[in-house]
């Protein structure tokens, strides 16, 4: 029985690392500029969001100090798959499910200290809360078989960052940041199958497995970047994120297994709790490169980034090499109104799904946004000559397509059968619509 529980646990751990299908590593665009321009901001970011995309951007704003107030992102995702559960006789059940998120994604502050600018920010980088259900039944030679599956996943990734930047030259800014990362995951798998005798109505075979998992990891990473203006109308941006390391982890696993056939009945229940300090790999290094062209008409930027592959069986991390591109810009319509638009890729770093519940989907999409600024002049003698209020509203749409590892289940749920379940790949699709509402106070 322990081996079966371990197998389901391994499947859940894979699922927990792969359920943010629409988001991948850029699930949430952080900050108002990124929300408007599809994240193409490595060369132009000029707010507390620079801590995420390029720390040198802390020097980019013309405002000495500014506060990026909590931005709220409302997200609607629709997942669909054709064959989450299947019987050999081709009875199948897929899943179509909607996920609604409310994410307080950004709270940041940037202040000028002499020739330096110091920034602090708290960002939510990933957010997933989804429930998948599937059920199949069929008449077989032995009677009536029923299988059911429920998967719940709630995953969050938070990033608290502290950084500073300075001008090494009138055309060159350099910045550094340190990040504290907290990833929390909680989830549930309920999986059961039963065979009912067609004559007596008795349940002759039964398998029921339930697993509840909660895990929290605390880690850290460093980042550095530069923004360079080799020409008054051209800006280049380069940033490097170091590999992140998990420094402390804690997890709790509750597992219950019940099985019955005409020969035997089995029951196993266990709780496993683990916690401690570690130095495991979590995320790979990431390099971003951006080019922006500026003018009185606004700016247009092209961004690209790469992440190397990671294979660490001990840490349970397996990622393939991945690249992504973004094209976006922001254009003023008047002194107080700007519009922005962009296109992006959000390709997955996950490897080919092999264990039940694992998924991989590459996403592609676009953004469209508008910003309104209101300037209030202050009386003479005040610390700042004026206060600027900015409000940003942006839309984001993404379409993802890939594969999910579902299950083929046996017509007789006999726990003595080593092949009672087998994984099978099924196509997987996701549509995501997000609304970003952000505000900024500059002084």
CB contact at 8 A, 197 and 26: no
Three-state DSSP at 384 gives coil
Would the pLDDT of 411 be above 60?
Answer: yes
Provide the pLDDT for residue 222: 97
Three-state DSSP at 216 gives strand
Percent of the chain residues topping a pLDDT of 70: 82
- In Å, how far are 46, 97, 115, 217, 220 from 165, measured between CA atoms? 11, 44, 9, 29, 20
Q: Retrieve residue 14's tokens.
A: 């894979």
Q: What is the pLDDT of residues 69-111, one digit of tens each?
A: 666 666 677 777 766 667 665 555 555 555 666 666 678 888 8
Strands 386-409 and 66-86: parallel
- In Å, how far are 251, 272, 314, 316 from 275, measured between CA atoms? 6, 10, 16, 16
Would the pLDDT of 270 be above 50?
Answer: yes
Q: What is the pLDDT of residues 221-247, one digit of tens each?
A: 999 999 999 999 999 999 999 999 999
Average pLDDT estimate for 151-174: 91
DSSP helix, strand, coil percent of the chain (3-state; round to 5): 5, 70, 25
CATH superfamily ID and name for 2-129+155-175+223-239+283-442 = Outer membrane protein transport protein (OMPP1/FadL/TodX) (2.40.160.60)
Would the pLDDT of 8 be above 70?
Answer: no
Category of 171 on φ-ψ map: left (φ > 0), alpha (ψ -120 to 50) or beta? alpha
| In the chain, domain spans | 2-129+155-175+223-239+283-442
Please choose, from the candidates 176, 205, 230, the residue with its C-alpha nearest in 3D space to the C-alpha of residue 43: 230
Provide the pLDDT for residue 150: 83
Q: How buried is residue 276: exposed, middle or buried, by Cβ count under 10 Å (0-12/13-18/19+)?
A: exposed
Would the pLDDT of 125 be above 70?
Answer: yes
Strands 172-196 and 143-169: antiparallel
CB contact at 8 A, 45 and 57: yes
Provide the pLDDT for residue 13: 36
Confidence of residue 220 (pLDDT cuts 50, 70, 90): very high
End-to-end CA distance of the chain: 64
Q: Which residue has the higher pLDDT, 128 or 155?
A: 155
Provide the pLDDT for residue 291: 98
Largest interatomic CA distance in the chain? 93
CB contact at 8 A, 85 and 147: yes
| Residues 52, 30: Cα–Cα separation, whole Å | 8
Q: What is the pLDDT of residues 357-370, one digit of tens each?
A: 677 888 999 999 99
Would the pLDDT of 158 be above 70?
Answer: yes
* CA torsion, ordered 309, 347, 316, 429, to nearest 10 deg: -150
Confidence of residue 443 (pLDDT cuts 50, 70, 90): low
Average pLDDT estimate for 297-308: 95
| Residues 36, 436: Cα–Cα separation, whole Å | 9
Question: Across all residues in the chain, what is the average pLDDT?
Answer: 82
CB under 8 Å to 435, separation ≥6 — which residues?
Answer: 73, 74, 75, 393, 394, 395, 396
For 93, how many CA atoms within 13 A lie in the half-sphere containing its CB?
A: 15
Q: Which residue has the higher pLDDT, 312 or 299?
A: 299
CB contact at 8 A, 241 and 225: no
CB contact at 8 A, 100 and 75: yes
Percent of the chain residues topping a pLDDT of 90: 37
Handedness of CA 24, 28, 31, 33 (dihedral sign): positive
Please choose, from the candidates 136, 142, 135, the residue with its C-alpha nearest in 3D space to the C-alpha of residue 205: 142
Q: Which of 65-74, 190-199, 402-411 has the highest mean pLDDT?
A: 190-199
CB under 8 Å to 176, separation ≥6 — which residues?
Answer: 55, 163, 164, 165, 222, 223, 224
Average pLDDT estimate for 156-178: 94
- In Å, how far are 31, 270, 367 from 34, measured between CA atoms? 6, 46, 9
CB contact at 8 A, 84 and 407: yes
| Residues 327, 432: Cα–Cα separation, whole Å | 19
Provide the pLDDT for residue 17: 36
Three-class HEC string of 414-432: CCCCCCCEEEEEEEEEEEE
Provide the pLDDT for residue 1: 37
Q: What is the pLDDT of residues 172-198, one digit of tens each?
A: 999 999 999 999 989 888 888 888 887
Provide the pLDDT for residue 296: 92
Confidence of residue 54 (pLDDT cuts 50, 70, 90): very high
| Whether the predicted model's global pTM rises above the 0.85 cut | no
Q: What is the pLDDT of residues 305-347, one digit of tens each?
A: 999 888 776 666 778 899 999 999 999 999 889 999 999 999 8
């Amino acid at each position: 029985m322990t081996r079966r529980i371990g197998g389901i646990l391994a499947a859940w751990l894979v699922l927990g690392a792969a359920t943010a299908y629409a988001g991948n590593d850029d699930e949430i665009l952080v900050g108002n500029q990124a929300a408007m321009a599809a994240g193409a901001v490595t060369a132009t970011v000029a707010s507390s969001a620079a801590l995420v995309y390029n720390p040198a951007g802390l020097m980019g704003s013309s405002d000495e100090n500014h506060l990026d107030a909590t931005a709220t992102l409302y997200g609607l995702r629709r997942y669909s798959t054709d064959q989450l559960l299947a019987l050999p006789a081709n009875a199948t059940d897929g899943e179509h499910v909607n996920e609604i998120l409310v994410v307080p994604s950004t709270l940041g502050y940037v202040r000028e200290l002499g020739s330096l600018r110091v920034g602090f920010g708290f960002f939510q980088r990933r957010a997933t809360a989804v429930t998948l259900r599937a059920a199949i039944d069929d008449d077989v030679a032995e009677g009536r078989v029923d299988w059911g599956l429920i998967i719940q996943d709630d995953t969050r990734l938070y990033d608290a960052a502290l950084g500073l930047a300075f001008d090494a030259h009138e055309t060159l800014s350099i910045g550094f940041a340190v990040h504290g990362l907290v990833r929390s995951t909680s989830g549930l798998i309920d999986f059961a199958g039963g065979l009912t005798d067609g004559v007596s109505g008795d349940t002759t075979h039964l398998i029921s497995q339930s697993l509840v998992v909660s895990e929290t990891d605390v880690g850290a990473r460093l980042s550095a970047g530069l923004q360079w203006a080799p020409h008054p109308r051209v800006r280049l941006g380069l940033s490097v994120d170091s590999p992140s390391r998990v420094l402390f982890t804690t997890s709790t696993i509750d597992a219950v297994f019940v099985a019955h056939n005409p020969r035997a009945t089995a029951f196993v229940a266990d709780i496993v709790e683990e916690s401690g300090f570690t130095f495991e790999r979590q995320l790979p290094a990431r390099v971003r490169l951006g080019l922006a062209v500026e003018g009185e008409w606004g700016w247009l930027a092209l961004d690209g980034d790469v992440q190397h592959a990671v294979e660490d069986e001990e840490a349970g991390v397996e990622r393939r090499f991945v690249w992504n591109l973004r094209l976006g810009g922001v254009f003023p319509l008047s002194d107080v109104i700007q519009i922005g638009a962009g296109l992006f890729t959000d390709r997955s770093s996950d490897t080919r799904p092999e264990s039940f519940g694992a998924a991989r989907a590459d996403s592609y999409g676009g953004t469209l946004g508008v910003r309104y600024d209101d300037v209030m002049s202050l009386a003479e003698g005040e610390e700042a000559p004026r206060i600027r209020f900015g409000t940003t509203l942006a839309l984001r749409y993404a379409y993802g397509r890939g594969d999910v590892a579902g299950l083929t289940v046996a017509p007789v749920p006999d726990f003595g059968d080593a092949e009672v379940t087998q994984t099978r790949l099924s196509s997987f699709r996701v549509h995501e619509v997000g609304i970003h509402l952000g505000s900024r106070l500059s002084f």
